[in-house]
């Protein structure tokens, strides 16, 4: 891809997305949001990519929105932000809905939309030097980038509001304790640890990952009985799929399942 602000590399079925504006802490502007959406579409459609990792260039993940570029729009700032968030939100929707694990490698500060993006990952690992802050209310704004959707579901409404009202900054250890990240990793080991995880997941049952993600998101709006009905339907479909038949056969034959043979390259 020709993108310069959001880079994508692919190795061993793992797509690594790098937010690439290190000179401004990978702040998100209109051009970067558009490129992120384009990369999200490519990742969701590519048969070569079976797991996706997102990280930031330099020593920060993302400091959030590029406020300087927003302010330059003057009275058109509202219209401009609608364009920025249209691209950003579509990108996050593709990441959330694709049948592929979406893994965050949070390599430094994740603020504002950067923290929202970290929360939108299926799994997130962070370096010991990473820090997390919502930051929106401090400048009189409200969250975007799915922050108001994922954060309260991860930490609970009261803690989410505390983070919003007080702009409290969490270090990596606190973010782990609050459930915002899955694991804290030494800075120099972050990408190798995350890539190892991504490669392992990339060899797994991708369609089952997608169906599981869908079930989890649906559970937020279903009753107990309706959710169990969806579980029954999904389970039956998965058991009768190529992945399901291979997984069951491999278990009974005491061998490793080969899900990569179903990859449509």
- Active site members: 89, 144
> Residue written as tokens 């992945």?
243
Spatial contact of 219 and 83, defined as CB atoms under 8 Å apart: no
CA triplet 252, 253, 254: central angle to 5 degrees?
A: 90
Task: Sort strands 131-133 and 170-171 into parallel, antiparallel or unpaired.
Answer: antiparallel
Q: C-alpha dihedral over 144, 150, 152, 153, to 10 degrees?
A: 160
CB-based contacts of 208, cutoff 8 Å, min separation 6 = 238, 243, 244, 247
Residues contacting residue 17 through CB under 8 Å, at least 6 positions apart:
6, 7, 8, 36, 39, 43, 52, 53, 54, 55
- Tokens in use for 10? 């692919």
CB 51 within 8 A of CB 14: yes
């Amino acid at each position: 891809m020709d993108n310069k602000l959001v880079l994508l590399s692919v190795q061993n079925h793992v797509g690594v997305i790098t937010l690439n504006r290190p000179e401004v802490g990978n702040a998100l502007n209109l051009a970067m949001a558009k490129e992120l959406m384009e990369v999200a579409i490519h990742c969701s459609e590519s048969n070569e990519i079976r797991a996706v990792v997102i990280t930031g260039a330099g020593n920060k993940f993302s400091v959030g929105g590029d406020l300087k570029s927003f302010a330059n729009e003057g009275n058109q700032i509202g219209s401009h932000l609608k364009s920025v968030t249209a691209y950003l939100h579509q990108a996050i929707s593709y990441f959330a809905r694709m049948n592929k694990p979406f893994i965050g490698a949070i390599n430094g500060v994740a603020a504002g939309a950067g923290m929202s993006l970290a929360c939108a990952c299926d799994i997130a690992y962070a370096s010991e030097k990473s820090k997390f802050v919502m930051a929106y209310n401090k400048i009189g704004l409200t969250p975007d980038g799915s922050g108001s959707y994922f954060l309260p579901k991860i930490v609970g409404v009261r803690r989410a509001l505390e983070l919003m009202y007080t702009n409290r900054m969490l270090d990596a250890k606190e973010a782990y304790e609050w459930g915002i990240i899955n694991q804290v990793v030494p800075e120099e080991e972050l990408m190798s640890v995350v890539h190892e995880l991504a490669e392992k997941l990339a060899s797994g049952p991708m369609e089952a990952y997608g169906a599981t993600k869908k079930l989890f998101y649906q559970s937020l709006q279903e009753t107990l009985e309706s959710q169990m009905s969806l579980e029954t339907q999904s389970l039956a479909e998965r058991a009768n799929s190529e992945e399901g038949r291979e997984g069951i056969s491999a278990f009974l034959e005491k061998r490793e399942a080969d899900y990569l043979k179903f990859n449509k390259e």
